[in-house]
Structure 1
Amino acid sequence: MTDMKKLLIVEDDAGLQRQLRWAYEGYEIHTAANRDEAIAVIRAEEPQVVTLDLGLPPDPDGTTEGFATLETILQLRPDTKVIVASGHGAHESMLRAIALGAWDFYQKPIDIDALGLIVARAFHVHALEAENRRLADRAEAGAVLGGMITGAPEMLKVTRTIERVAGADVSVMLLGASGTGKELLARGVHESSPRKKGAFVAINCAAIPETLLESELFGHEKGAFTGAVKTTEGKIELAQGGTLFLDEIGDVPLPLQVKLLRFLQERMIERIGSRKPIAVDTRVVCATHQDLDAMVAEGRFREDLYYRLAEIVIRIPSLAERPGDAGLLARHFLTKYAATMQTGAKSFAPDALAAIDAWSWPGNVRELENRVKRAAIMAEGKMVTAADLDLADKADPIPINLKAARELADRKAIRHALARAEGNISGTARLLGISRPTLYDLMKAYDLQP
């Protein structure tokens, strides 16, 4: 869509039409004297703003044709800002026009300066709404890596890093607390890489007993041990041509670490009970919530294996370090579970939103999802409360005791408000109790985006 601001003036009085045409500067002006001409311009030019005289021919003394024009414009272009004018029954016309979807109203005789301000504001609001729709469409289209829902710069930095390294065939290590989305990001690495047509094979090394983990990874031959009734491929083989995700790599026992190191060096494996080497071409992505540096220093994790796995290390911030994301994710989970479980809860009460913003989320996204799922079931009305989330009286306010914390507090408050208002600038300003110009200045100063 062009950046040119297009204004359509619908006015049957030729003299007034000329006056209005020359009253505005900086706009691409189009004019129409009747309904047919107006609709033709709407179809061809798609103006963002329309000034519409309700008294149009063939009944210039009435408003029937004007209201019909208004309805048709909004049917064709619902986002158009239509400013209606009439000198006939102004109050009744105003109420009806607004009810039909008009953006604003002014009464004849026309004050050019006042109308100019209304038109300028209409273009500004239209541009903001268009930007909000663009951002929403981008989010729904999965523009953020792996379909991850986030608006936090800390997390967007992580996704951009992953997008840069995905194309390089190197091992990636994801470090972060439990529940921060490590597997989701690992899938993002796979889906953004040239191996995306291959299999994504995940294994949680902490969930499998040590005696079975080797078999799960490397496979076994028939008769290799009691119960091995058939030859079975391991996870590494199944990831041929794709990506192998080793979750909780820190729980791999030392003896198995040696065998895993040999595979990473030679890209060859041997099944349990076999001496035949098998070549495997797979990319390895691993993750852990443990401090591997400390484990290496204590001798609980091999240093040579660590450097094989950690060619690229990416640290994932906790949910508490991503202001605003808790609110975004909570809305997503509520919509998801309200639909799948057919519950009546559709939104969050103000106390629930405040509690979500203030809670530290030690269990991260996993804890948030579980609380919202439970709340969707337990909520008695259409709104989920802090009590439904089991967060009533639990969320402590964020302490601020130094002047140096002012900027940090401002950033967090603005990002929480942006998330709660779903990126709407006017709504965010109202939540913060400041004007939109002040909010714009703060966002510019802190380099924040809606």
Structure 2
Amino acid sequence: MKMEPADKTDIILDSIADGVFTVDSDWKITSFNRAAEEITRIKRDEAIGRHCWDVFKASICESHCSLRQTMETGDPVVNKGIFILTSSGRRIPVSISTALLKDREGSIMGGVETFRDLSIVEELRRQLESRHSFHDIISRNAEMMRLFGIMEQVAESEATVLLVGESGTGKELFARAIHSLSPRHEGPMVTVNCGALPDTLLESELFGYKAGAFTDAKKDKPGRMALAEGGTIFLDEIGDVSPALQVRLLRMIQEKTYEPLGAISPLKADVRIVAATNRPLEELVAEGSFRKDLYYRINVVRIVLPPLRERREDVPLLAEHFLRRFSGLNGKSIHRISDGVMAVLMAYDFPGNV
């Protein structure tokens, strides 16, 4: 018995591991192979005769259809990353390629699209990233991994921590990790950027004030110290604090008490202090602009964070992480960074770090 050409085509298509479907000039599906059924969980009989966008509900169907682009321009699309929805509504990452479908005379009769399930690849990528991440901090650098290893021990202590590093090296992420791992994790974590406010505002912001303390103080206002009660306060850019305010911070750290502006009695401070700086505090102490006693009080546990230029092995990990993050936020389906772009990133010094 002689086999019909259509039967041969179906057998060939069903032997392919990638999903394959074809459409006619009206965008209705004319063939749908076994792999397409397995990936989408949609039966062949249910797909054939329907418009392709009704079957796939892909992230590019409405505005950037690759198959439409190919049928309009004649140019194929190769290995473009997108997402499709299965019959159960599950979102699956796939890589698609498209081409024109022509008859014997060379006339366009439709289009063909192949798609490869990237779920396993994405899962392996997530597992790889999880091995190189710690509380939202991504790194495979040996020094960073060493710091990850001591974080639990640091967090369990009540000792004041000083995080030292350039802007963008992850000081606030480390502070949040310390808080999350500490016995105080159920309490609040309050961040104060000491370099963002003038001295008078910073003092009232930190310690609060009583009604009548100054002209516009109509009622009591709790400071960040009070808001951080039972938790952690993160003093970012502590090297920018004025000498006058340094005295008050020193007393608070030494005696665990502070006075709101206009108060006549001190309040107890039940907070863990994590401080950070991108300035050389030792030099500031030597020149007299930062108190030596305060420096020793905050420099109990010192963690120095390396800049990105000293851990270039992290650049591909970070690039992939931000590519996925911002692709999703902007409704894009970009799955990889070209070798040329990665070479440029690897050669850059990243003065602002991450």
Give the TM bin, normalised by the shorter chain: 0.5 to 0.7
Q: How does 1:303-318 map to 2 (within 5 A)?
A: 303-318=292-307
Q: Deviations over 1:192-230 (max 9, x none)?
A: 111000000001000111120100100001121122122
Q: Which has the higher strand share?
A: 2
Q: How high is the TM-score relative to the length of structure 1? A: 0.51
**Contact (CA 8 Å) 2:179, 2:185: kept in 1 or not?**
yes
In structure 2, what is the Cα distance between the partners aligned to 1:356 and 1:154? 21
Pair 1:180–1:214, CA change in 2 (3 A):
same
Query: Which residue of structure 2 lines up, in the alignment, with residue 369 of structure 1?
Result: none
Match 1:333 to one of 322, 345, 351: 322
Change (3 A) 1:135 1:310: farther
The residue that corresponds to 2:265 in the other structure is 276
Report the AA paired with residue 319 of structure 2.
A
**Retained in 1: the 8 A contact 2:132–2:138?**
no
Find out whether 1:267 has 2:256 as its counterpart: yes
Aligned with 1:225 (options 208, 214, 222): 214
SS at match of 1:196: coil
TM superposition shift of 1:327: 1.5
Alpha-carbon deviation of 1:313?
0.4
User: Separation in 2 of the partners of 1:209 and 1:341?
Assistant: 37
* Distance in 1, Cα, partners of 2:317 & 2:133: 14
Instruction: Determine whether 1:148 maps to 2:137.
Output: yes
Partner residue of 2:350? 361
State the match for 2:236 in structure 1. Answer: 247
Distance in 1 (alpha carbons) for counterparts of 2:134 and 2:327: 25
Letter in 1 for 2:127: D
Partners of 1:138 and 1:242 in 2: CA distance: 33
Question: Aligned residues, how many?
Answer: 245
Counterpart residue number, 2:225: 236
The one-letter code of the counterpart of 2:225 is: I
Deviation readout 1:283-340 (Å, 9 max, x if unpaired): 0000000000000000010011011111000100000111221111111112111111
Return the offset for 1:246: 0.2
Matched residue type, 1:228: A
Distance 1:240 1:215, change over 3 A: same
Q: Is there any run of 5+ residues in structure 1 with no aligned partner, and where? A: 1-62, 76-129, 366-450
Contact 2:179–2:189 (Cα < 8 Å) also in 1: yes
1:291 paired with 2:280, answer: yes
**1:205 paired to 2:187:** no
**Unmatched segments (≥5 aa) in structure 2:** 1-10, 16-33, 39-119
Mapped contact 2:195–2:241 kept (Cα < 8 A): yes
In structure 1, how many angstroms separate the alpha carbons of the residues matched to 2:346 and 2:152? 29
1:137 to 107, 127, 146: 127
Are the counterparts in 2 of residues 145 and 163 from structure 1 also a CA contact under 8 Å?
no
Deviation at residue 135 of structure 1 after TM alignment: 8.2
**Relative CO higher for 1 or 2, CA cutoff 8 Å, sep ≥ 6?**
2
Residue 240 of structure 1 aligns to a residue whose secondary structure is coil
* Equivalent residue runs for 1:35-74 within 5 Å: none
- With over 3 angstroms needed to count, the CA separation of the structure-2 counterparts of 1:252 and 1:345, relative to structure 1, is same
CA 347–136 in structure 1, closer or farther in 2 if over 3 Å, else same: closer
Residue type of the partner of 1:137? Q
State, as a whole percentage, how many aligned pairs show the same letter: 43
Partner residue in 2 for 1:187: 176
Q: 1:176, 1:317 within 8 Å by CA — same for their partners in 2?
A: yes
- Secondary structure of the residue aligned to 1:324 is helix
Question: What's the CA shift for 1:161?
Answer: 2.3
Question: Aligned partners of 1:363 and 1:150: how far apart in 2?
Answer: 17
Written as runs of structure 1 = structure 2, the 5 A alignment for 1:84-95 is none
- Take 1:180 and 1:229, find their aligned partners in 2: how far apart are those partners? 41
Q: Deviations over 1:338-384 (max 9, x none)?
A: 1112235443222110011111111100xxxxxxxxxxxxxxxxxxx
Q: Between Structure 1 and Structure 2, which shows a larger proportion of helix residues?
A: 1
* 8 A Cα contact 1:218 1:270, kept in partner: yes
Give distance in 2, aligned partners of 1:232 and 1:191: 27
Deviations 1:380-433 (A, max 9, x none): xxxxxxxxxxxxxxxxxxxxxxxxxxxxxxxxxxxxxxxxxxxxxxxxxxxxxx
- After superposition, the Cα gap between the structure-2 partners of 1:234 and 1:306, relative to the gap in structure 1 and judged at 3 Å, is same
**Is residue 162 of structure 2 the alignment partner of residue 162 of structure 1?**
no
Question: Is residue 319–residue 364 contact of structure 1 (8 Å, CA) maintained in 2?
Answer: yes
Distance change (3 Å), C-alpha of 1:143 and 1:237:
farther
Q: Is the Cα contact below 8 Å between 1:145 and 1:185 reproduced in 2?
A: no
Change (3 A) 1:252 1:320: same
SS across alignment from 1:215: helix
Counterpart amino acid of residue 238 in structure 1: L
Where does residue 102 of structure 1 map in the other structure? Answer: none
TM-score (normalised: structure 2): 0.64
